[in-house]
Chain A
Amino acid sequence: MAASGENVQLLGIVGSPFVCRVQIALKLKGVEYEFVEQTLGQKSELLLKYNPVHKKVPVLAHNEKPIAESLVILEYIDETWKSNPILPSEPYQRAMARFWSKFIDDKVVDTTWKSVFTVEEEEREKRIEELSEALQFLENELKDKFFGGEEFGLVDIAAVFVAFYVPLFQEIAGLHLFTAEKFPKLYDWSQDFLNHPVVKESLPPRDPLFAFFKGRYESLTASK
Chain B
Amino acid sequence: MADEVVLLDFWASPFGMRVRIALAEKGINYEYKEEDLRNKSPLLLQSNPVHKKIPVLIHNGKPIAESLIAVQYIDEVWNDASPLLPSDPYQRAQARFWADYVDKKIYEIGRNIIWKKNEEREAAKKEFIDCLKLLEEQLGDKTYFGGDKLGYVDIALVPFYTWFKGYETLGNFNIESECPKLIAWAKRCLQKESVSKSLHDQDKIYESIVEIRKKLGIE
Q: Is the interface of A mostly helix, strand, loop or mixed?
A: helix
Query: Given the complex, which residues of B lie within 8 Å of A72, measured CB to CB?
Result: 93, 96-97, 100
Within 62-111 of B, Cβ neighbours of A (below 8 Å) are at: 62, 64-66, 69-70, 72-73, 76-77, 89-90, 92-94, 96-97, 100-101
Q: What number of A residues sit within 8 Å (CB to CB) of B? A: 22
Size category of the binding interface on chain B: 20 to 34
Task: Please name the residue on chain A nearest to B90 by beta carbon.
Answer: A65
* Min CB gap A85→B, angstroms: 14
A67 to B65 CA separation, bound complex (whole angstroms): 25
Task: Please name the residue on chain A nearest to B59 by beta carbon.
Answer: A92
B100 touches A95 (CB 8 A): no
Within 140-182 of B, Cβ neighbours of A (below 8 Å) are at: none
B100 touches A99 (CB 8 A): no
A73 to B64 CA separation, bound complex (whole angstroms): 22
A80 to B90 CA separation, bound complex (whole angstroms): 9
Query: Given the complex, which residues of A lie within 8 Å of B76, measured CB to CB?
Result: 91, 94
Q: Which of A65, A80, A102 has the most CB of B within 10 A?
A: A102
| A68 part of interface (Cβ distance < 8 Å) | yes
**Which residues of B approach A to under 8 Å, CB–CB?**
50, 59, 62, 64-66, 69-70, 72-73, 76-77, 89-90, 92-94, 96-97, 100-101, 134
**7 examples of A-B residue contacts, CB within 8 angstroms:** A67-B90, A67-B97, A72-B97, A72-B100, A95-B69, A95-B73, A99-B69
